[in-house]
Every structure is written in structure tokens, then in C-alpha cells.
Amino acid sequence: MGSEVSHRFFQAEDFSRFRERLDTETALLKTLFDEQGFSPRGDVAGFEMEAWLVNDAGQPVCENDRFLENLASPLVVPELAKFNIELNGSPCALTGRVFSRLHDELYSTWKKCCRTARDMGCHMITIGTLPTATEGLFVADNMSTMVRYQSLNDRVMALRDGQKLEINIDGDDPLYLLHDDVMLEAAATSFQIHLQCRPERASREFNASILSAAPLVAAGANAPYLFGRTLWDESRIPLFEQSVHVGERNKPRVTFGSGYIRESLFEIFAENRDEHLILIPMVQDAPPSRFSHLRFQNGTMWRWVRPLIGFDFDGQVHLRIEQRVPSAGPTIKDSIANAAFYFGMVRGLTGLEEAPEQHIPFADARENFYTAARYGLGAQVCWRRNGRREEIAIARLIRDELLPLARDGLAQLDIPAAEIEEYLGIIEARADNLQNGAAWQRRWMQRNGGSMAELVTAYRELQDTNQPVHTWPI
């Protein structure tokens, strides 16, 4: 869905032509799986980070076109709303001082963005949901100018027969509202982590990514406030699921998925073709070997853990996993620590002699995810410990079991001990003092009172130090 489309509206024949190409490409992909025709390269990291443009009062600034023109960086692109942008990183081998390399590139890009924003009289902020944002900002006039977003909105609302989107999130101060378009998706900003897989490990790594979703969302929760309401620690999870809901008659586009992988990632691409409507039938003039239509269809379904098809520098087709659960922010350092935790858990879990997905039901993994999104580091989850199913505080699970597993996993990748401790130590410190971004925001409001604008100012000033959130004073 990252690709631009040439026109906004489509005819019935466009859907037929798109379907034909999707069927052809899905069959070709099946052949690649059957013949083990994917790139053997793996253990490659990447990311995308979404951010906001805001003014001195913490209100969104709808200037991403001018901002991007002034910045002129191929690593920074528009997002759905005119006040959002996306920062990208270069693929990086998961070995050596990989996290320092990822951090330094992202921090360099971030500082350039901050300077460009400052020259325009505004600021950058990266956060899961912006506490100062108001519903009135999320209107069609503030949608980015790219045609794909307009077409997406048209299609979602058409599938809903014109019925308004319903947002219903419980919490300390529940939120219920009806909205005219998909723009509320722009209120949820994330840090998306990419892992290129070796084909023989792809299924186990995908299932490990499913299992890692709950501890990852708990450790990195950073979205407790939305439209002045106190909601989940990671409110962007229910918000995003509801903001592009395509109606009760159709399968949802944002989900935790339907189960573990049994044999290969092809199961999900087959499900994309067989069980989901075509959202935008953008027919492209490309050979089947480019998988343009299959990738576009996959890109219009936002599973929290999503498989991707890509290409190596030499044209070989590769498999990637996109882990979509972490919030944006609070700092660049925190974001890279989240990535280190994810990569370490995946390698650690896949290295176990017995696959943990054989003992932890998918229903538990899914329930753990939503519980962790709601309660953050205060969540209680179900895990298999000492040969039996137990309920455990997720902070204790992270500290006592998952961090040692992640350390071992990263060590297997020949990442230096000092590098591992620098970044996983951040996760350990959060688990110790129970302070992630969401907890800091709640504690700041409880201690200081005041307005959401004052909270955002304090947050932005601390974010600018790039000191991890567990160190932030209240």
C-alpha cells in the first residue's frame, strides 16, 4: 500500500483484471515456496517510524508537503495526514554493532527533520497517540495529497454502505464517537520493525513474532491519551483496528491474525486472495515475477504481524516479517531498544528445541496481546512455565525469562555483549521501574495536573535529550 496509484476511481473491469493478476502471482508464489526459490539471505533488519509535525502548543501542523520539499530526503515520506511523516532506515545485517548503526542513521535523519521543522517554526514529535490532537483535525481536508489515501477512504466507506466509522474504546474515561472517514487512522503512529528471514526459518520466526507481540507492546506502550480521554496504555491498537473497519459483512483488515503458521508463510498470502475483498484494484504494467498485485493486496491488510515479499539487490525474491505492534517513540534510543528486544526474542524463541507455539495456544497469544495493549507493563498474561500454563505479571516475564532468552538470541548473531547490554538494558530498566512512555505520561499528569499541551511540551523537551524514557523525571 506504500505505492502511489495513478487514479482515484475504478470500474468493475479493474477488479476483474486485478483479480486475474492476483491469481497468477499467487500461483507463482506457491511455486517459489514449493521449490524453495527464495533468497537464502536472512537476518537483515529494517524499520519505519511515523512522526508528527506540531506547533509550540503541541497542535498538529498540516505542512508535510512543504516540510518534505524543504527536507529533500529519500528516507522521509508522507503519511496519511498532512501533519504526519514517515522516517525509513537502510537495511542492515543483524550482526556486530547493528543497533548502534540503526540508531545512528535514524538519529541523524531525525535531527535533520528537527532542523527542517524548526526552520518552519514548528517541531517534530514521535508518540503513539498525540494527547493534544482533537477529533476536528482528522478531516478529509487534512489528508495528504497522495491519491492512494483518497482511494482508500472511498473504498472503505463504500464497503460500509456510507455508514460512519464507529470508535468505541473502553478505559478510565471511555471514548465513543462516529467519524466520517478513515482519517482517524492518522491518530495512531508506530515504529514498524522489519526482519528479512532465511526461508528455512521463516515459519518459526513468524510464530515467534506472534508470541513476542504481547511483551513487545507492553514494554513499548506509549499511547494512553486520545482526544482528552484516558484509555489503554496502547490505545492505538483498538483505534487502528476500528478506524478502517470495512463493515460487519467483510473480514477486518486490521487483526492479530487467525492462527500460527503451520507449514509456510504462503498460508497468509493464500488467505489474502481467498478470504479478503480487493480493496483498491490498481492494475499495474509489470510481469508476474514482480508480484505487484500480490504485494498491493497484502499491503491493504494491516495484520499486527505481517509477512512481506521483497527483492534483494540482485533481484532475488526474499521473505520479510513486519512487526507492527510497537508505538512510535518516546526517543530514538527507546525505539532501537524495542527493535533489539524483538530481534532477540525471535532468535531466542526459534532457537528453543521445542517450538513454543506447540505449547502456547494461539488464543493465549492473542489474548496476551490485547491485555498487554490495555495494561502495558501492569498486565497479567498466560505463559507456559515449568511445563504448565501459568498466569504471570508481564514485567516479571520480561525480566526473568524473555530478556535472558533475547540476550542469548542476540549473542548467537555475534552481537557484542556491550551492544546487547546497552539496548536490552533499557528494556530491563523499564521492566524494573515499570516506566514506559504510557506510564510516564500517566505519572506526569497525576503529579503535575495541567493541560495536555503542557504534557506534550514536557514530553517533547525530554524526547529531545534522547535519554531513554525509564530515566525521565516526573
Least confident of 106-120, 139-153, 346-360, 434-448: 139-153
Q: How confident is the model at residue 9 (pLDDT cuts 50, 70, 90)?
A: confident
pLDDT at 65 over 60: yes
| Phi-psi sector, 184: left (phi>0), alpha (psi -120 to 50), beta | alpha
pLDDT at 357 over 60: yes
Q: Which residue do the cell numbers 491519491 mark?
A: 147
pLDDT at 6 over 80: no
The reported pTM is: 0.96
Q: How confident is the model at residue 167 (pLDDT cuts 50, 70, 90)?
A: very high
- 422 CB neighbour count, 10 Å cutoff: 18
Q: How confident is the model at residue 248 (pLDDT cuts 50, 70, 90)?
A: confident
What CA–CA distance (Å, rounded) separates 244 from 156? Answer: 7
If you average pLDDT over every residue of the chain, what do you get? 96
Q: How confident is the model at residue 1 (pLDDT cuts 50, 70, 90)?
A: very low
- 292 CB neighbour count, 10 Å cutoff: 19
DSSP character at residue 13: H
Q: How confident is the model at residue 205 (pLDDT cuts 50, 70, 90)?
A: very high
Region 324-336: mean pLDDT is: 97
What CA–CA distance (Å, rounded) separates 119 from 109? Answer: 16
pLDDT at 10 over 90: no
What domains can you pick out in the chain, each with its CATH number? 12-468 (3.30.590.20)
Q: In this predicted model, what pLDDT tens digit does every residue of 370-423 receive, in sequence order?
A: 999 999 999 999 999 888 899 999 999 999 999 999 999 999 999 999 999 999
Q: In this predicted model, what pLDDT tens digit does every residue of 88-115 receive, in sequence order?
A: 999 999 999 999 999 999 999 999 999 9
- Residue 235: what pLDDT? 98
Region 139-146: mean pLDDT is: 91
Contact (Cβ atoms closer than 8 angstroms) between residue 54 and residue 329: no
Q: How confident is the model at residue 2 (pLDDT cuts 50, 70, 90)?
A: low
What CA–CA distance (Å, rounded) separates 272 from 279? Answer: 11
What CA–CA distance (Å, rounded) separates 129 from 189? Answer: 6
Region 276-297: mean pLDDT is: 94
pLDDT at 338 over 50: yes
